[in-house]
Structure 1
Amino acid sequence: MSSIQQLQGTLNQLSGQLAAAEQSGSMEDAMLIVGQLGQLQTELQNAQSGLGAEASDSARQELVNCRMLLHGMMNAVEAIRARAAEQYRQVLGENKAAFEQMADDAKQSVYPEAYQYRQVFQQMAEVSQQLRQWDGTMLDMGYQMERGAQTGGSLNGAVPIEETTMDTHDGWTI
């Protein structure tokens, strides 16, 4: 199994768990998934390091599939974030302004439910940012794979000498 296939498997698993958390509305389930995202980071790094050997059409398609799963996860994270914000506002009602002025420990003891929703909201914002970064990394990987395929896999996508433009300006070759 290639490292991209392993990444896709992990994304499938986390995407399913995130979708279930979104459907159930369970903030606890959403927070558990956050702890599992480290595994995704490791697998993405493994896929990056094995990039040169996996520049086949099927590997590029698997990477596209990974990005599609990641986009689905982004949507689920945003839905969980919106739900947490709505529940936060419902729990606090007219006390929202007062809550936001409290010290952190007071927030937790006076309005524990609102505090939890606020934590989930903030955590999902961080997860959303991380998923966008990983999407960019996968986009770069896809470009490198495509470039490697176009250049025959030389130097992991680097342009071969024959394809460079020659300029003899001041005796330098560029």
Structure 2
Amino acid sequence: MDRNTFAMLCELLKTRGGLLDDGNVTIEEQVATFIHILAHHVKNRSIQVRFYRSGETISRYVHRVLLALLHLEDVLFVKPTPVPDDCTDSRWRWFKGCLRALDGTYIEMNVPESDKPRMYMDVDPEEYTPVTLDELPIGEDIPNEFESIDVVEASDEWSQWRNDLAEEMFDTWMSRRT
């Protein structure tokens, strides 16, 4: 922020926001502390070291600047105006009448049939029968002809197999890169 903008902000906070210079901390230092905390996301302890003030003093004056900014709500924050119904800008036609929806107001509307989501079913609802978990053939389709591995203990054979596999995968990856 340049010096002129900073001076205008301090003057605005003093005249319209009600920020006072109490003789201990100037308005400029109060605003600088507040802006430094916001801009650099620093903790109270860092500000204590930088501005040579106690943590309580910093908290008190940051709170005062914040209250002064809240008093400037009408000056600093612009109230949105609704887009007129006769607006010809094509970007706004999708949001026609939506300003009230943003503040949590319920708007009753009728969606055209062409814009409603369509439901496609692969199963005829009249042929549907519910299936219980007991009726599902879980695990029955796995053949028992293979030996299942329950525990893999550390051995030279497994370590060598793992290393060979990793090396093969790495070589394949390197060959694809070139």
What TM bracket, shorter-length normalisation? under 0.3
Q: Which has the higher contact order (CA 8 A, sep 6+)?
A: 1
TM-score, with normalisation over the residues of structure 2?
0.24
TM-score, with normalisation over the residues of structure 1?
0.24
**Relative to total residues, which structure has the larger helix share, 1 or 2?**
1
